[in-house]
Structure 1
Amino acid sequence: MASGPRIGDTAEDFTLPGGMLSDDSFERRDYTLSGARGRAVVLAFYPGDNTSVCTRQLCSYSSGFETFEGLDAEVWGISPQGVDSHESFARSHGLRMPLLADEGREIARAYGVTAPGIGVRRSVFLIGPDGVLRWKHVALLGATFQSLDTLAEQISGIKTA
């Protein structure tokens, strides 16, 4: 497994296709990390749509949408499934965050979170408004995830630093 970026590194830029549920429509577009400069971005890598832990994790983050907005931050879910799968997943669970398709796992490899068997390790990277990696957590087993409170605390910390 590659180590990926270190705290204090400028986050590697990327563009991925994705979409976000907005009312009854699923708005598809490309997401480019450098295009989000000026806001904190939480990159939440997860193994798969509609799996039990991934569903709990993304539902938790989606229900905390207002918390992230209040901190001038956004959460992007990233997994190897395609945009059609993401649309179905978002609609099934009312997810209110962009879900990005890293079908070739290039971005997961660049961030050092690919894993044999599961494909992608459950991981969270907090990119500051300046594009610098401020915090990360890469799970070894992936049976648990970082809570909304933990993420909010980390985002608040970079805002006051």
Structure 2
Amino acid sequence: MKLGDKIPTLTLKDQDGREVDLRRKAEGNSLVVFFYPKDFTPGCTKEACSFRDSYEEFRDLGAEVIGISSDSEDSHSNFSKRYNLPYPILSDRDKKARNAFNVKPSLLGLLPGRETFIFNDKAELIHKFNSMSAGKHIPEALAVLKRNQ
């Protein structure tokens, strides 16, 4: 994806088995979509919990947060409950979303990529950020949202 592109038209199931239409989620508010490699791993847990801890700040900036990995809905349900995640986590078992967003694997192709995408209230991509360092995604996303208010 490149800046200005519309969010892909995709529907994925969340941790509760509900279908989530990404385009519809982006209508009328900003949307932060973060891709992460795997539930319950140290880096991914840190990232998910950091988004949780800053969730109200995202909401105050008019943004919704969505996490996506290729883990199952059951894994997401357990992960979400264990860490009290207030936002949806979508299951991308067939990598439809990773392909649509063009998220590349990391570490010589050994790990699924960690990338964050920020869309404005018109569902247009205004920023993307790729780093295997889980802690960098939250401040980067908040800074972009603050600049674009």
Could you state the TM-score of these two structures normalised by the residue count of structure 1? 0.84
Match of 2:122 in 1: 130
Structure 1 residue ranges, 4+ long, deviating more than 3 angstroms after superposition: none
Identity between Structure 1 and Structure 2 (%): 28
Aligned partners of 2:30 and 2:64 also within 8 Å: yes
Mapped pair 1:117 → 2:113: no
Question: RMSD in angstroms over aligned alpha carbons?
Answer: 1.4
Greater fraction of residues in strand: 1
Mapped pair 1:33 → 2:30: no
Match of 1:56 in 2: 46
Structure 1 stretches lacking a partner, 5+ long: 20-26
1:72 CA displacement:
1.1
Task: Tell me the number of residue pairs that the alignment of Structure 1 and Structure 2 aligns.
Answer: 145
Residue type at the aligned position of 2:144: Q
Provide the rounded CA distance (Å) in 2 between the counterparts of 1:102 and 1:53: 19
Aligned partners of 2:36 and 2:68 also within 8 Å: yes
Could you state the TM-score of these two structures normalised by the residue count of structure 2? 0.91
Q: Tell me which of 12, 23, 43 is aligned to 1:16.
A: 12
Greater fraction of residues in helix: 2
Structure 2 stretches lacking a partner, 5+ long: none
The range that moved more, 106-115 or 59-68, is 106-115
